[in-house]
Amino acid sequence: MPSIMKIITSPTLSDQQKERVLHIWNTEYPVKLQMPGMADFDNFLNTLINPKHYLMIDNDDVIIGWGNKYYIGDVTCFFIMISGEIHGKGYGTTLLNELKKGEKQLFGWAIDHNNDIKADGRPYPSPINFYLKNNFTINTEMRLEDEQLSAVNILWEKE
């Protein structure tokens, strides 16, 4: 695995951090989940309860990954995203391990099919195998289904 630059945490994002994270979001997520502008992204961020942002920063001080933990009741929810050019190199696992620290479990959603397309026209690959490799279980009984998203519940529990 490449040497890790640094991961910083913060309860908020600066305007510059938001711009970079939004770029990663709109580049790496399916077109159906795109945020057309900063106002939409700010509205999304404002729905997160007690968020903690994890920013993975490369040697040139560029954000290359973003993770987030937030809470719904006593459930710790999360999501992560990594710049495509570093997929498959261990960075996602490193970022995910940071989110796991101090937690008993993490609850999230993952697209479990390969039917979606990214903004550049390439297929959006399901991250299910990544989560399985990182000790998550898939709860096929709990799905999120709407016009924008078809995803399955994923859960990590500390052993």
Let me know: does 154 contact 78? Beta carbons within 8 Å: no
Rounded distance, CA 11 to CA 63, Å? 16
| pLDDT above 90 for 156 | yes
Mean pLDDT, rounded, for 45-58: 95
User: What's the pLDDT tens digit per position in 112-137?
Assistant: 999 999 999 999 999 999 999 999 99
Statement: residue 5 has pLDDT above 90: no
Measure the CA–CA gap between 69 and 48, rounded to whole angstroms. Answer: 9
Whether this model's pTM surpasses 0.75 = yes
What is residue 132's three-state secondary structure?
A: helix
Per-residue pLDDT at 109: 95
pLDDT at 3: 53
Ranges of H-type helices in 1-159: 15-28, 38-47, 91-100, 128-133
What is the average per-residue pLDDT within 71-90? 92
Residue 4 banded pLDDT, cuts 50, 70, 90? low
Q: Which of 133, 114, 132, 134 is nearest to 124 (CA)?
A: 114
pLDDT band at 148; cut points 50, 70, 90: confident
Q: What are phi and psi of 44, to 5 degrees?
A: -60, -50
CA 76 to chain centre: 14
Is the pLDDT at 2 greater than 70, yes or no? no
**86 falls in which pLDDT band (50, 70, 90)?**
confident
Q: For residues 153 and 145, is the Cβ–Cβ distance under 8 A?
A: no
Listed range (45-49, 63-67, 139-143, 152-156) with the worst mean pLDDT: 139-143
For residue 103, the SS3 value is coil
Q: At what angle are helices 15-28 and 38-47 packed, to 10 degrees?
A: 100
